[in-house]
Structures are given as C-alpha cells and as structure tokens.
C-alpha cells in the first residue's frame, strides 16, 4: 500500500508525487465528474462560460497525466441529459465550446495517440457539434494508447434502457434467448463496452453524488470527492487523488484476511 498521508504529500513537488506512485496499483480506468465550473467563474465575478473554458485546461492535464502514467482509459462527464434543462444561452455556448475544443484538440489527440469516443444520446447534439464529434472519432479510431471517452447528453439510466431495448429486440428476433442474459451479456450492450469498469471516480466541487453517471459501471469503483472546483483541479490534485486511491484496500466483497492470503487479488489487480 502507498505511504504518506495526504497532508504530507500535498507539499511535495509533482515530479516526486509522480515517482512515488506504485505502477502496479494504478487505476486502469479513471472516470471524472467535472463539476464546479460555474462556481469557479462566480467567485471571480466572471460569466459561467469562463469557468467552462478554463476547465478545458484541467482536461488537458488529465489527458497528459494518464498518458504519461500509462493509464489506458479516461472517461469524462461533459454534458448530462439533465443539463438540457439549463438556460438555452448556456447550452448553446457549451455546444460551441465543445465544437471549438474538438477543432483545437484534434491534432494534439492524434499526436498523443489518443482515441476519442463520445457516449450518450449524441444524436441530440446540434448538427455541427455532432459532425465534429464524428470527425474526431473517425480520425482517432486507430489509436489505443489512451481511450478518451466523453459523455455528452449522457444519462446512466437511459444507457441501461437503451441496452435493454436492444437486448429485447435481439430476443424477439431470436439472436438470443432470455435465459442467456447475464451480467456479461448486458455489459456488452452498454456504450462503454470494451472498457474495464472505472477503478477510480473523481468528482470535483464538493458534491457527493453520482448525478446519473455510469450507474452500471461504477458498481465497485473507488470514489474520490474533493472540494476543489474543476478549473482548479490540475496535475497536482490528480496526483494526490491517485495517492489516495493507492491507499485504499479494494475488497470486492471479501474480508481483509482473504486478501492478505491472496496478495494477487489485492488493490487494483482484478482477475479480469
């Protein structure tokens, strides 16, 4: 298990924090609820969009760090189904920001051999934003160094409903029989199919809820909640989150004695 309390670690430089991480115990997949952009802007007397724009720098930090550490999957919650209830002006500005982020970032994603994929009911996005989503997906489809999944117009319950609907169709047309349906099969119908479940979920801004994110996939994920607002959550904060994760004992329902009997089944080393 990793050493050092959070207060001891937070004064260390990033290079040292990075070198103290135990490579075998890194998460394979990190999921993030990027929250607090509006409050970050309000604290500075700025319009909410300033917070969303600044938050892009935190996204870049996370992508770079995952790549450097060899973490293969990063899934970020950028726009929820419930976010459609926000004022039209904010929604429009967010969609424009998404589009300009994709235009701006395409080259960097290619250079970093990062595969971009969107999950969620993306067909509800404005046409020009959707066209950029599809373009960046296409042009990065052959990379697998880092899998960047962006949840857009995403809701965990609708994802499960969509999966069940397709299962039901396949049962009706005879491709599968109802008694064949098990957890693995249902997982295969989810939009995150092919990715391991997240090992670590980070939510910024002090809220301690899931807000309809990855409801199925988070069944055994370690949760990290921090009061830091998303635009302030940078490399240093991410390194501290990883140290916190490495101090956890993941039991998956077993007792701690069983884990010490079978060291291979310890933290972060899942049999799958």
> Which spans of this chain sit near ligand IPE (rule: CB under 6 A)?
33-39, 77-80, 82-83, 94, 205, 207, 209, 211
Task: Tell me 28's DSSP state.
Answer: S
35 carries an active-site annotation: yes
Instruction: Give percent helix, percent strand, percent coil of the chain, each to the nearest 5.
Output: 50, 15, 35
Minimum CB–partner distance for residue 190 and ligand IPE (Å):
19
What number of other Cβ atoms are within 10 A of residue 18's Cβ?
15
| Residue 78: contacted member of Mg ion, ligand IPE, none (CB under 5 to 8 Å, by partner type) | ligand IPE
Nearest to 247 by CA among 56, 53, 8, 51: 8
Minimum CB–partner distance for residue 28 and ligand IPE (Å):
22
CB 39 within 8 A of CB 230: no
**Of all residues in this chain, which one has the CB nearest to ligand IPE in the complex?**
38
Q: Which is nearer to Mg ion, 35 or 237 (CB)?
A: 35
**Of all residues in this chain, which one has the CB nearest to Mg ion in the complex?**
35
Minimum CB–partner distance for residue 253 and ligand IPE (Å):
28
Rounded CA gap, 177 and 187, in Å?
A: 16
Catalytic residue among 14, 83, 162, 170: 83
Minimum CB–partner distance for residue 29 and ligand IPE (Å):
18
Q: What residue ranges bind Mg ion (CB under 5 A)?
A: 35
Residue 154 forms beta bridges with which residues? 80
Tokens (6 digits) for 184 = 């693995």
- SS3 of residue 258 by DSSP: helix
Q: Which is nearer to Mg ion, 28 or 203 (CB)?
A: 203
Q: Active-site residues: which are they? A: 35, 83
């Amino acid at each position: 298990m990793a050493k050092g309390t959070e207060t001891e670690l937070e004064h260390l430089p990033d290079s040292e924090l990075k070198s103290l991480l135990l490579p075998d115990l890194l998460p394979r997949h990190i999921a993030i609820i990027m929250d607090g952009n509006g409050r970050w802007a309000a604290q500075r007397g700025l319009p909410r969009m300033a917070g969303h724009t600044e938050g892009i720098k935190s996204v870049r930090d996370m992508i770079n760090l995952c790549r450097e550490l060899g973490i293969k999957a990063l899934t970020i919650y950028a726009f929820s189904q419930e976010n459609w209830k926000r004022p039209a002006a904010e929604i429009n500005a967010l969609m424009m920001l998404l589009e300009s982020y994709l235009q701006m970032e395409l080259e960097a994603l290619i250079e970093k051999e990062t595969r971009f994929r969107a999950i969620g009911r993306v067909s509800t996005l404005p046409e020009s934003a959707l066209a950029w989503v599809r373009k960046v997906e296409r042009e990065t489809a052959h990379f697998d160094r880092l899998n960047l999944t962006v949840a857009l117009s995403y809701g965990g319950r609708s994802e499960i409903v969509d999966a069940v609907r397709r299962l039901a169709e396949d049962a009706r047309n005879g491709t599968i029989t109802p008694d064949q349906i098990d957890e693995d099969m249902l997982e295969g119908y989810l939009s995150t199919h092919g990715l391991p479940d997240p090992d670590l979920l980070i939510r910024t801004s002090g809220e301690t809820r899931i807000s309809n994110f990855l409801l199925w996939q988070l069944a055994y994920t370690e949760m990290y909640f921090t009061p830091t607002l998303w635009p302030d959550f940078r490399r240093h904060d991410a390194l501290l989150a990883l140290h916190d994760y490495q101090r956890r004992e993941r039991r998956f329902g077993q007792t701690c004695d069983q884990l010490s009997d079978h060291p291979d089944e310890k933290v972060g080393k899942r049999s799958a």
